[in-house]
Amino acid sequence: MIKENDMIAVIGATEVMVDIRMGAPERPEGQDEYGMQTNADMNRPPSREDQIEEIFKEGRDRMTVRSTGCGFNIAGYLADEGYETAFISAVGSDIAGIGAIEELREHGVDTQGVGRFDGTTPIRVTFFNILGDEEMEKKNDLLMEKLTPGYMEKCSGVLDKADAIVMDGNVPEETIAYICDRYGSDSSVKLFFDPAGKPGSIRGCEHLSKFDMVMPGRIEAETMTGKTILSEDQLMAAGNHFSEQGVGRTVITMKGGGLYYKEGLSEGVMRPERIISFASTSGAGDVVSASVVAEILRGSSLEDAGKYAMKKAADFLADVDDRNIL
Q: What is the pLDDT of residues 289-308, one digit of tens each?
A: 999 999 999 999 999 999 99
* Higher per-residue pLDDT: 115 or 67: 115
Query: Is the pLDDT assigned to residue 171 strictly greater than 50?
Result: yes
* Higher per-residue pLDDT: 249 or 136: 249
Helix, strand, or coil (residue 186): coil
Query: Is the pLDDT assigned to residue 121 strictly greater than 70?
Result: yes
pTM score: 0.81
Query: Is the pLDDT assigned to residue 58 strictly greater than 70?
Result: no
pLDDT for position 40:
45
Mean pLDDT on 154-169: 95
- Please give the DSSP secondary-structure letter assigned to residue 217: B
Min mean pLDDT across 16-20, 134-138, 140-144 is at: 16-20
Cα distance between residue 235 and residue 269, in whole Å: 8
Query: Is the pLDDT assigned to residue 20 strictly greater than 80?
Result: no
Cα distance between residue 190 and residue 157, in whole Å: 17
Query: Is the pLDDT assigned to residue 279 strictly greater than 50?
Result: no
Query: Is the pLDDT assigned to residue 133 strictly greater than 80?
Result: no
8 A C-beta contact, residue 281 and residue 257: yes
Cα–Cα nearest to 90, from 151, 136, 134: 151
Cα distance between residue 167 and residue 284, in whole Å: 17
8 A C-beta contact, residue 242 and residue 250: yes
Instruction: Give the pLDDT band (50/70/90) at residue 37.
Output: very low
pLDDT tens sequence across 71-109:
999 999 999 999 999 999 999 888 888 999 999 999 999
Q: Which residues pair with 225 in a beta bridge?
A: none
Cα 99 to Cα 33, 75, 103, 121, 142: the distances in Å are: 38, 15, 6, 10, 19
Mean pLDDT on 231-242: 95
pLDDT for position 140:
60
What the chain holds in terms of domains, given with CATH numbers, is: 7-15+67-323 (3.40.1190.20)
Of 116-120, 131-135, 312-316, which one has max mean pLDDT? 116-120
Cα distance between residue 142 and residue 310, in whole Å: 33
Strand 17-22 relative to strand 63-68: parallel, antiparallel, unpaired?
A: antiparallel
Min mean pLDDT across 87-91, 130-134, 223-227 is at: 130-134
Residues 6+ apart with CB under 8 A from 108: 79, 85
Cα distance between residue 272 and residue 281, in whole Å: 12
